[in-house]
């Protein structure tokens, strides 16, 4: 409320009274003396809806890096194929039996390679579908498009049809598919029904990974072991989060996810925020109760937790609107509580 607005006593009046004047909020004119000025307030449905920023900034221009690696991959594939052909011809020259064995092994390798390529392509397509769902849901929260919201809910149900944990949530959401619900409210309903159990499991996965990193780095004798373990634990955590929210990333999918998670951290300034939180928590006497190694373990665990929160934002098919976003402070309390207990022991 503006402090400069003069206070007046409550009064009653009729809307059809000629002394009642409805003013526009942007109108700077003054009504006649003795009249009652009414300024209508904005409807809650017309207020702006806060939505998340795009997960990854859009890239423009020709991708020369993609062209380069595609050409290099083609040359390597051609060279490998010619080498295998020459090997099989040499085996046939030496012995016909060895030639057939080499040919069979080459066929098996080719079939396995095709299956791997197909799985990688399906994994990348599934990750792209989740990213598009996130962006479409953010647009519907602003536009309140009812038809688009129904299409998004249908895609979400297809994405979650293989998850047995969401059977009850899917039935509950499908029962509201024919109800008269606005587009933004439909997205919020889908988030409450489908994302609530997944968010709880995601929080548990991130907390478990942070605690594991904290323990191992606190007792590890070498810094190289710490780096390798943190890297492996982070990859495993991101893969689990992606599978939890419907993604099935392969090797190329994991590379793409890691790029998006790091880009999300850079955009949101998450590392700086986590650093301030770490300094605040460790500055209130907690560091004095822990040894130096335990303190380093806590720091590594908190940074792993921050990486996990960024991975949740990237792999989640819906933006956080109806449900609270998990925070580093909540995960840090569990981690510090466990470390304090180990420090006392």
Q: What is the DSSP string of 86-121?
A: HHHHHHHHH-HHHHHHHHHHHHHHHHHHHHHHHHHH
pLDDT at 104 over 90: yes
pLDDT at 269 over 50: yes
Mean per-residue pLDDT over the chain, rounded = 77
Whole-number pLDDT of residue 79: 92
pLDDT at 284 over 60: no
Whole-number pLDDT of residue 43: 52
Q: Please indicate whether residue 10 or residue 283 has the higher confidence score (pLDDT).
A: 10
CA pair distance 232, 227, nearest whole angstrom: 9
Q: Is 146 exposed, middle or buried (0-12, 13-18, 19+ CB in 10 A)?
A: middle
Whole-number pLDDT of residue 1: 43
Whole-number pLDDT of residue 144: 83
Residue given tokens 């990974």 in the structure block: 209
Residues 20-55 have pLDDT tens digits of 666 666 666 666 665 666 666 655 444 454 555 445
Q: What is the 3-state secondary structure (H, E, C) of 130-181?
A: HHHHHHHHHHHHHHCCHHHHHHHHHHHHHHCCCCHHHHHHHHHHHHCCCCCC
Q: Please indicate whether residue 9 or residue 91 has the higher confidence score (pLDDT).
A: 91
Q: What are phi and psi of 153, to 5 degrees?
A: -65, -40
Among 121-135, 192-206, 273-287, which stretch is predicted with the lowest mean pLDDT? Answer: 273-287
Residue given tokens 């499991």 in the structure block: 201
> SS3 for 22?
strand
Residues 196-223 have pLDDT tens digits of 888 889 999 998 888 888 888 877 777 7
Query: In this prediction, what percent of the chain has a pLDDT beyond 70?
Result: 70
Give the Å distances, CA to CA, from 175 to 172, 189, 316, 338: 5, 12, 23, 43
Give the Å distances, CA to CA, from 295 to 229, 234, 301: 17, 20, 10
CA pair distance 41, 24, nearest whole angstrom: 10
CA pair distance 272, 279, nearest whole angstrom: 11
Print burial letters for 16-39: b (CB count within 10 Å at least 16), e (below 16).
Answer: eeeeeeeeeeeeeeeeeeeeeeee
Q: Please indicate whether residue 56 or residue 19 has the higher confidence score (pLDDT).
A: 19
Q: Please indicate whether residue 226 or residue 267 has the higher confidence score (pLDDT).
A: 226
pLDDT at 282 over 80: no
pTM: 0.68
Q: Name the nearest CA neighbour of 202 among 161, 166, 238, 253.
A: 238
Whole-number pLDDT of residue 271: 47
Helix (H) or strand (E) run with residue 20 in it:
strand 20-22
Give the Å distances, CA to CA, from 218 to 90, 292, 297: 56, 9, 5
């Amino acid at each position: 409320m503006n402090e400069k607005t003069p206070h007046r006593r409550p009064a009653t009046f009729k809307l059809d009274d000629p002394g009642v004047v409805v003013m526009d909020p942007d109108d700077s004119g003054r009504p006649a003396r003795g009249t009652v000025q009414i300024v209508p307030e904005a409807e809650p449905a017309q207020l702006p809806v806060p939505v998340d920023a795009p997960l990854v900034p859009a890239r423009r221009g020709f991708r020369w890096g993609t062209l380069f690696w595609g050409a290099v991959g083609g040359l390597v594939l051609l060279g490998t194929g010619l080498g295998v052909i020459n090997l099989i011809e040499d085996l046939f020259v030496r012995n016909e039996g060895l030639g057939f064995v080499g040919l069979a092994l080459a066929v098996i390798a080719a079939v396995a390679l095709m299956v791997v390529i197909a799985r990688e392509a399906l994994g990348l397509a599934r990750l792209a579908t989740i990213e598009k769902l996130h962006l479409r849901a953010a647009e519907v929260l602003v536009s309140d498009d009812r038809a688009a919201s129904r299409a998004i809910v249908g895609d979400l149900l297809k994405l979650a049809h293989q998850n047995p944990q969401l059977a009850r949530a899917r039935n509950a959401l499908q029962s509201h598919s024919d109800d008269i619900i606005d587009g933004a409210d439909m997205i919020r309903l889908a988030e409450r029904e489908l994302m609530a159990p997944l968010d709880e499991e995601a929080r548990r996965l991130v907390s478990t990974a942070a605690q594991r990193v904290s323990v191992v780095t606190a007792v590890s004798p070498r810094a190289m072991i710490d780096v390798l373990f943190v890297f492996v634990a982070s990859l495993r955590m991101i893969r689990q989060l992606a599978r939890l929210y419907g993604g099935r990333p392969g090797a190329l999918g994991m590379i793409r996810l890691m790029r998006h998670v790091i880009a999300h951290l850079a955009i949101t300034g998450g590392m700086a925020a986590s650093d301030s939180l770490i300094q605040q928590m460790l500055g209130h006497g907690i560091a004095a109760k822990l040894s130096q190694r335990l303190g380093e373990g806590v720091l590594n665990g908190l940074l792993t937790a921050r990486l996990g929160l960024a991975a949740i934002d990237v792999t989640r098919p819906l933006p956080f609107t109806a449900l609270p976003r998990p925070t580093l402070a909540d995960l840090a309390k569990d981690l510090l509580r466990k470390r304090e207990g180990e420090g006392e022991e």
